[in-house]
Amino acid sequence: MQQLKDSQDTNRNPALNHQTYGEPALTDLSAPATKKFLRTGSVFDLSDRSNRLSSSWYELRRHIASLRHQQPQQMTCSPPTTDRKTPSPLTKESDLLSSIDNILKRAKTKLLNRANENGSWNASYLGGATHTSLRTISLFYLEAEESTQQNTLIIRNILSMQKECGGYGIYPAGPSSKAVSRMAYLALICSMNSNDGKLLEDSNVRKDVEKSLARTRHFVDTANDTKEWLLYTLLADFCWKLTAPNIPNTLPHFPFISNIIYLFQKQGGLGRFQSVLHQILPAILILLQPQKKKASKNPKLKERFPFTLTWIKNQYFRAEGLFSEKMEQQIIASQDGDGAWVETIVATSLNAMALKKRGFSKHNRTLANAIKYLQDSAVYTANDVHINWATGDMWDTAIHADILHFIGNTPSKDIIDNIFPHFMMGIREDDRWSFSILGRITDNDSSSMTLATFAHLYPFMDDFQQTNAKTIITRVCHALLAHQQNDGGWATFDEQGIQRMGYKMPTPEKGAFFDFSSPDVTGRVTFGLLAAKSSGALPHDLEENILRAVKKSQGYFAAVQCKQGHAEGSYWSRWLLGPIAGTSFTTVALRCSGIATESPLLKRARAFALRTQHAISGGWGESRQADCHTEDAGQGPTTPLQTALAIITLIASSNDNDSMTDNAIERGITFLLETQNNGHWEDKWPLGTILTGLDYFITPENSEVAILASLTLYRYYKFYGAQAAISHWVERGRNAKI
């Protein structure tokens, strides 16, 4: 923490000479910046040595607490015998800023060390028992055995996720599910039988597994109050049907349920969400077919399906004709460059098992690449293993490079030279980016965040890079504008989702199989478009089109906030848990698009953030129930990520002289500083969303990026005010206010 020297002049307050992260030295008291510095309370009265406190923030907090419990002195005619004064709140604010400076200094080194050798970044996307079990089962079915040591770690990892009731949850800390428990049961057996059953000779491992299997079987047989979802039941059915004949041990029998038509019939159609579904449904249809028989000629299968498989063919695959050999051709053609499908374990496992069922050898190039992707999804350490359910190196590279720039570090030529080829290589035929650098399925969300980073780095590129970047930025802006929905919002994937469904939080089924506007995606796309507009790389007519699209998105935000079905003043979120996250991204988009703080949209959002702050910790947090029940918004364990997002909401919606908001922000910042460990925060609660209300994941690196953004935004907020801070976050190009 910065040590302050005593002033040599006791008749004035010296301006603090702030030297971190490019802040100017404020030595001229008449300068406007210095007046701002004085107004925000970063200048100290150091004329009295007895009035100085310890530089430690924690000692300062204890000192303030002790002063609050002191009895007030009685008034007398003579002055008090001591000249000790109540500590000024300015000292507390300065210690906050100084602590933040130290964290941000360390963050630069940590972020740079986290980069790969090729200049990209990879974050962890830690899934639960579903993804770990499915990966283990598919590798066993594909005859891609791992070492005995790796299988032991996988077994220990699965056992650690078993609950007291004997079952397994879809995600860590989630409710137990029979389908996921069946998959975990089968995964343990597959691991034990790998490598010719070598683990069966280990008495300690075998004893632990036998106890776990007995508990799981009891849970599956007796539990009746679990809420199951059809897709996970289908995954469990596929795994049992395909794998059981290859296991020498006798397995308990579970009924095989394959009523996928029920899902289609219940939802009434799939809309235009075919970019992802075309990567999964061909594999599902192959896996549903009896071995060595065509599904359309199987009378028993027809009896099981009320509409037969021909109904699906006529409804969704008429143009493509994706049946029989054409289905496997579609699967092969849609594989990503890194061997995955849709950059997830679920899609990759389904497609790989479907090809194996069609007679493909594990030495086939397509299957070999898929096997390598599944094997690489496990990160082994000496005593543990983590399974990444997805790959998002394009997203990770974009947000890591951008936060390095935002916290005050001018992008070096090496960083730009390293990430520039990835951005150029990742652009696809539809002029958008994918979640991963080698992915085929593009989306608006990844494209907007990559676009923002590309635009922020544009002024620092050389002439050759700027020439190519200008073309790419223009193309991506046109593509994003073309994908705006009729309601003014943006969906994740498609250009025209099902209308009038983006106003309310979806059920898990709708969130998985339908693609429609969502507030958080719309907020991030707005952020990316405005960043591109301020970069100086776009022609004037395209800038005008962006402003019109942003104006249209404001109507969508207004409609969502006024819609019943979620907490007042909040916005639901598709890809992060709870309305705290959705409100944060939306509020930033509204403020940087020119909406005044007196607007009802920002007033209600600010009121929601103030209302949901936790009284004791000073932070924010909510559980999975917030995605299911309106009354649970803001209710749950306090987490660093959700606290950071709520701080961003308050800064983006506040006036500079609002004492209530200032106090709430300061308490949130204090919580972040007290819960950090050498610049690291631990979010044990899964906050990343796979299926809204059902399946979640943990991404610690990306959570830290959001926390660093909130701390940096707070610094700019204290120095320059809320509007300038938000503008600088978005417009680090020609229109930057700072």
Each residue of 289-345: pLDDT tens digit?
A: 655 444 444 444 333 334 444 554 454 444 344 455 777 888 888 899 999 998 999
Residue 205 confidence class, pLDDT cut points 50, 70, 90: confident
Q: Phi then psi for 536, rounded to 5 degrees?
A: 85, 10
Which tokens hold the place of 549?
């699209």
The yes-or-no verdict on residue 273 having pLDDT over 50 is no
Q: How many whole angstroms separate alpha carbon 326 and alpha carbon 350?
A: 17
User: Is residue 193 very low, low, confident or very high in pLDDT (cuts 50, 70, 90)?
Assistant: confident
- Residue 410 CB contacts under 8 Å (≥ 6 apart), including other chains: 460
Strand partners, 387: 378
What band does 498 get if pLDDT is binned at 50, 70 and 90? low
The answer to whether the beta carbons of residues 642 and 620 sit under 8 Å apart is yes
Q: Which distant-in-sequence residues (6+ apart) come within 8 Å of 564 by Cβ?
A: none
Span 335-392, pLDDT tens digits: 999 999 989 999 999 999 989 988 899 999 999 999 999 999 998 887 888 899 999 9
Quote the percentage of the chain above a pLDDT of 90.
47
- Structure tokens given for 442: 């593009």
Whole-number pLDDT of residue 266? 39
pLDDT band with cut points at 50, 70 and 90 for residue 618: very high
Q: Which residues contact 560 (CB under 8 A, 6 or more apart)?
A: 489, 502, 503, 519, 571, 572, 586
Structural tokens at position 683: 């979010």
Average pLDDT rounded to a whole number, residues 153-165: 92
- For 481-485, the CB contacts below 8 A with 24+ separation are 481/529, 481/545, 481/546, 481/549, 483/432, 483/444, 484/549, 484/552, 484/553, 485/516, 485/517, 485/556
- Quote the pLDDT of residue 290: 58
Q: Which helix or strand (DSSP H or E) is residue 385 part of?
A: strand 385-387
Which pLDDT belongs to residue 731? 87
Q: How much is the pLDDT for 174? A: 77
* Res. 168 pLDDT band, cuts 50 70 90: very high
Of the pLDDT bands very low, low, confident and very high (cuts 50, 70, 90), residue 121 is very high
pLDDT given at position 139: 93
Task: Return the sign of the alpha-carbon dihedral for residues 405, 696, 519, 637.
Answer: negative
* Residue 496 banded pLDDT, cuts 50, 70, 90: low
pLDDT over 50 at 190, yes or no: yes
Span 124-128, mean pLDDT? 90
Average pLDDT over residues 612-627: 92
Residue 265's pLDDT band (boundaries 50, 70, 90)?
very low
What whole-number distance in Å separates Cα of residue 452 and Cα of residue 27?
A: 35
CB atoms within 10 A of CB 600: 12
Instruction: Please name the residues in contact with 24: beta carbons below 8 A apart, sequence gap of 6 or more.
Output: 18, 33
pLDDT tens digit string along 388-441? 999 999 999 999 999 999 997 678 888 999 999 999 999 999 999 999 999 989
Does residue 244 have a pLDDT over 60? yes
Picking from 566, 349, 395, the residue whose alpha carbon sits closest to that of residue 492 is: 395
Q: Which long-range contacts (CB under 8 A, 24 or more apart) does 375-382 make?
A: 375/139, 375/144, 375/146, 377/135, 377/345, 378/135, 378/150, 378/154, 379/124, 380/150, 380/153
Asked whether residue 218 carries a pLDDT value surpassing 80, the answer given is yes
pLDDT digits (tens, 9 = 90+) for 10-67: 333 333 333 333 333 333 333 444 333 333 333 333 333 333 333 344 454 444 445 4
Residue 126 carries which side chain, given as an amino acid letter?
L
- For the cut 90, the answer to whether the pLDDT of residue 606 exceeds it is yes
CA-closest candidate to residue 402, choices 443, 444, 460? 460
pLDDT on residue 47? 36
Structure tokens at 371: 């096997």
Those residues with Cβ within 8 angstroms of residue 593's Cβ, 6 or more apart along the chain or in another chain: 526, 530, 550, 551, 553, 554
User: Is residue 388 classed as helix, strand or coil in its secondary structure?
Assistant: strand
**241-256: average pLDDT:** 52
Q: Which domains does the chain have, with CATH numbers?
A: 10-62+89-102 (no CATH), 129-387 (1.50.10.20), 392-563 (1.50.10.20), 567-738 (1.50.10.20)
Backbone angles phi, psi at 497, to 5 degrees: -80, -175
Q: What token pair was written down for 86?
A: 């109540």
Instruction: Give me the pLDDT at residue 565, please.
Output: 62
Instruction: For residue 479, give the nearest of 515, 453, 442 by alpha carbon.
Output: 442
| Selection from 173, 175, 180 nearest residue 684 by Cα | 173
Name which of 294-308, 473-487, 517-531 the model is least confident about: 294-308
Q: Tell me how crowded residue 113 is: count the other CB atoms within 10 A of its CB.
A: 7
At 737 the pLDDT is: 57
What string of DSSP letters covers 225-292? -----HHHHHHHHHHHHHHGGG-SS----------HHHHHHHHT--TTTHHHHTTTHHHHHHHHSPTT
Three-class SS state of 548: helix
Segment 213-237 mean pLDDT: 82
Query: Does residue 488 contact residue 551 with C-beta atoms inside 8 Å?
Result: no
Question: Residue range 114-135: average pLDDT?
Answer: 91
The token duo for 74 is: 């009685």
Q: Is the four-CA dihedral 691, 695, 699, 705 of positive or negative sign?
A: positive
Dihedral over alpha carbons 559, 564, 569, 571 (to 10 degrees): -70
State residue 455's pLDDT score. 95
Long-range Cβ contact pairs of 10-13 (< 8 A, separation 24 or more): 10/47, 11/47, 13/38, 13/43, 13/44, 13/45
**403-441 burial by CB neighbour count: b if 16+ within 10 A, else e?**
bbbbbbbebeeebbebbbebbeebbeeebbbbbbbbbbb
The closest of 602, 582, 588, 475 to 527, measured between CA atoms, is 588
Using the Cα atoms of residue 575, residue 703, residue 104 and residue 651 in order, give the sign of their dihedral.
Answer: positive
Site of tokens 């649970």: 632
Say what the pLDDT of residue 277 is. 63
Extract the tokens encoding 707. Answer: 């926390």
What's the N-to-C CA distance of the chain in angstroms?
25
Q: Are 73 and 45 in contact (CB under 8 A)?
A: no
Taking only the tens place, the pLDDT of each residue in 681-697 is 987 788 999 888 888 99
- For residue 390, what are the β-bridge partners? 344
Encoding tokens for residue 477?
A: 């802006």
pLDDT given at position 509: 58
Highest mean pLDDT among 342-351, 544-553, 560-569, 693-702: 544-553
The pTM assigned to this predicted structure is: 0.81
Closest by CA position to 529, among listed 547, 556, 552, 554: 547
- SS3 category, 335: coil
Between 508 and 116, whose confidence is greater? 116
The SS3 assignment for 337 reads coil
Distance, in Å, from the CA atom of 664 to the CA atom of 352, rounded to the nearest integer, reads 51
Would you place residue 515 in the very low, low, confident or very high pLDDT band (cuts 50, 70, 90)? confident
